[in-house]
Amino acid sequence: MAAGTAYEPVIGLEIHVELSTKSKMFCGCEARFGGIPNTRTCPVCSAQPGALPVINREAIRHIARIALALDCRIAPGSIFHRKNYFYPDLPKGYQISQYDMPFAVEGHLDVTMDGEQHRVGIERVHQEEDTGKNIHAGESGRIAGAIYSLIDFNRCGIPLVEIVTKPDIHSPQVARSFLNKLKNTLQYLDVSDCNMEEGSLRCDANVSVRPAGSDLLGVKTELKNMNSFKHLEKGLAKEIERQIGLLEAGRPVVQQTVHYEVASGEVHPMRSKEYAHDYRYFPEPDLSPLEISQDFVDDVRTGMPELPSVRAARYVTELNLPEYDAEVLTSNRDTSDFFDETLNYFDDQKMLSNWVMGDLGAYLNASGKKLSIETVSPGQADQLCWLSPAGFGEFLAMIKDGEIAAASGKAVLPEMCETGKTAREIVEEKGLAQISDTARIEALIDRVIEANPEQREQYKSGKKQVLGYFVGQVMKESGGRANPRTVNEILREKL
C-alpha cells in the first residue's frame, strides 16, 4: 500500500456473558461464581458416560431478554451444536453451543459519543455453556512456566450467552463505549452481574484495517479474553498501529490471535487462529431443537424492565432534567434506581440530581462502593454504601429547609455513607446545625459590629462592599453555622 494512505480501522466484538441463573445450563448444579473447587459438579457437567443434558428454561428467558433489548429477531426454532475441541477444562471434549441456527439474529445497539450516534449491528445472539477453569501453579500464573495445573469444574456448564456484533465499529473509543452501553443494558435486564474480575463478562475483539473509503474487509486479528474495557481500548489502538505498520512496509497482516500485554502496553501475535471447520460442528443429538413460541416471547417482553434509554427519556420529559443529567444518572442501574426511589422522599429532582452526580458520585468513585435501594446488612458493607433513599431524602430536605448549610452537608454525606447514621444524628454529634434563630444571629452581629467601628464608618460613608467583610466575620464567629441569608438581612438593617 502506498505510503500516506489513510486507513480506517474495522472492529467487531464477540462478548460472552455468564447468566445469573440459579442452576447450570444443562444440569441442576449451582451456577454461582466460586465455591470449593469441584463441589458444584454432577454426572452431566463432568461428562460421565450416559448422562443427558436438559435445557435450563430460566437461561432461555434470560437470553430472550437480551435478544429483545438488542432489537434482535428471535428464531422460532434454533438448534444446539457440539463444538469439538480438546482441552482439559472441557470434560465432554465438546462445548454445547449454537452454530448456524442461533437463538436470535439481526439486532443493533446505538451508542452516542461526543454527540454523534453510532449504530452497531448485532449479528447473532446464541446460547452456550462455560468451560471449567485451569489453574496454573507457578510464578507466572499462566501455562508457560507452570509447575503443574489444576482444574476446577465448578464453572463448567454455567450458562453463557455470546453476543456477536457486525464489523461496524471504527475506533477503539467507540468499541469501549459500546461495551459500556452493553454492560449497562445487561445490568438493567438483571441477566448477569457483569462482574469482569470474576469473568462474568468477557470480550474478544476482532480488528482489521483498510484504506479509508474502501468497503472491502481486510484480514483481521483477534484480541482474546479482554477483561477490562480500558485495556481493550488500548490494545486495539496498539494493534491498529501494528497492522498499519505492516501494510505500510508492504507486508501482509496474518489472521491470528494477538495478546495484549498490559504491563508493557505491547501486542504480541500468538498462534494462527482455528477456522470453524476445525471444530467439526455437528448437531447435538441429545437435545431436541429449541422451539420458541410467540406466547413465550410476548411473556418475556411484558416482563422487561425499563431500559436505560427509555428511562433517560422519561427523566427529560417527566422530570424536566437536562439531557446531560438523564444520561449520567441512567448510565448505572444502581444509581438510577436509587435516584428514582429517593424521589419518594424528596421532590426537588434537580437538587437531587446535582447531589447524586456531585458529592454522592464522588464518594462512590473514591470508595468503589455501590448504592442499593434494599436495606444493607453489615456483611455487605464493604461493597455497598449504607445510605438509604429515605435517609438521603431527609438529608436533602434538611439542607433545603436551612437546617444544615450546604457546605456542612458536604461533610455529613460521606459519613452517612460510611456509618449508616442519619443526617440528624451526625449534625447533632458534630454541632453542625445551622443557626437560623434570629435572636442568636443578632447577638453575634452586635458583637462583630462593636468590634469593628472603623469598618462600620466606611460602610456608612458609602463603601458598601464592606458588607462582605462583616458577613465573613459573623460566619466565622458562628463556626460557619449561621444561615448566610439571615446574616445578610440583619446586617443590612443594623449597619
Supply the DSSP string of 18-65, one letter for each residue: E---SB-SSSSSB--S--STT-S--TTTTT-TT------HHHHHHHHH
Decide the pairing of beta strands 133-137 and 148-152: antiparallel
| Residue at 135: amino acid letter | I
The cell for 373 is 435501594
Residue closer to ligand ADP (CB basis): 9 or 393: 9
Closest approach, Cβ 222 to ligand ADP, in A, equals: 7
3-state SS, residue 359: helix
Phi then psi for residue 435, to 5 deg, are -90, 115
Please report which helix (H) or strand (E) contains residue 163, including its range. Answer: strand 159-165
Question: Who's near 475: CB < 8 A, 6+ residues apart?
Answer: 482, 484, 487
Residue closer to Zn ion (CB basis): 50 or 431: 50
Residue 167 binds which entry of ligand ADP, Zn ion, none, with Cβ cut-offs from 5 to 8 Å by kind? ligand ADP
Q: Is 96 in the site for Zn ion (CB under 5 A)?
A: no
Residue closer to ligand ADP (CB basis): 218 or 235: 218
User: Given the rule CB under 6 A, which residues bind ligand ADP?
Assistant: 10-14, 164-167, 206-208, 217-218, 220, 276
Rounded-to-integer distance, Cα 191 and Cα 70, Å:
13
Q: Mask of contacts with Zn ion, 21-50, x by CB under 5 A?
A: ------x-x------------x-xx-----
Residue closer to ligand ADP (CB basis): 122 or 292: 122
Closest approach, Cβ 51 to Zn ion, in A, equals: 9
Residues 245-264 close enough to bind Zn ion by CB under 5 A: none
Answer for the pair 295, 302: CB distance below 8 angstroms, yes or no: no
Residue 68 binds which entry of Zn ion, ligand ADP, none, with Cβ cut-offs from 5 to 8 Å by kind? none
In Å, how far are 294, 311, 314 from 181, measured between CA atoms?
28, 14, 18
Closest approach, Cβ 232 to ligand ADP, in A, equals: 13
Residue closer to ligand ADP (CB basis): 217 or 362: 217
CA proximity to 164, closest of 195, 218, 205: 205
Residue 217 binds which entry of ligand ADP, Zn ion, none, with Cβ cut-offs from 5 to 8 Å by kind? ligand ADP
The cell for 317 is 420529559
Residue 29 binds which entry of ligand ADP, Zn ion, none, with Cβ cut-offs from 5 to 8 Å by kind? Zn ion
Residue 376 binds which entry of Zn ion, ligand ADP, none, with Cβ cut-offs from 5 to 8 Å by kind? none
Closest approach, Cβ 16 to ligand ADP, in A, equals: 12
What does the longest C-alpha to C-alpha distance in the chain come to? 102
Residue closer to ligand ADP (CB basis): 278 or 401: 278
Residue closer to Zn ion (CB basis): 45 or 396: 45
Rounded-to-integer distance, Cα 403 and Cα 424, Å:
9
Q: Cα torsion for 34, 39, 43, 46, to the nearest 10°?
A: 50
3-state SS, residue 223: strand
Residue at shortest CB range from ligand ADP: 12
Answer for the pair 206, 220: CB distance below 8 angstroms, yes or no: yes
How many residues bind to Zn ion according to rule CB under 5 A? 5
Residue closer to Zn ion (CB basis): 29 or 426: 29
Residue 14 binds which entry of ligand ADP, Zn ion, none, with Cβ cut-offs from 5 to 8 Å by kind? ligand ADP
Closest approach, Cβ 220 to ligand ADP, in A, equals: 4
Closest approach, Cβ 11 to ligand ADP, in A, equals: 6
Answer for the pair 92, 284: CB distance below 8 angstroms, yes or no: no
DSSP assigned state of 356: I
Residue 487 binds which entry of Zn ion, ligand ADP, none, with Cβ cut-offs from 5 to 8 Å by kind? none
Closest approach, Cβ 253 to ligand ADP, in A, equals: 10
Residue 207 binds which entry of ligand ADP, Zn ion, none, with Cβ cut-offs from 5 to 8 Å by kind? ligand ADP
Closest approach, Cβ 193 to Zn ion, in A, equals: 20
Closest approach, Cβ 367 to ligand ADP, in A, equals: 36
Residue closer to Zn ion (CB basis): 153 or 459: 153
Q: Taking the mean position of all CA atoms in its chain, how far away is CA 248?
A: 38
Answer for the pair 118, 127: CB distance below 8 angstroms, yes or no: no
Decide the pairing of beta strands 73-74 and 282-283: unpaired
Residue 27 binds which entry of ligand ADP, Zn ion, none, with Cβ cut-offs from 5 to 8 Å by kind? Zn ion
Residues that bind Zn ion (CB under 5 A): 27, 29, 42, 44-45
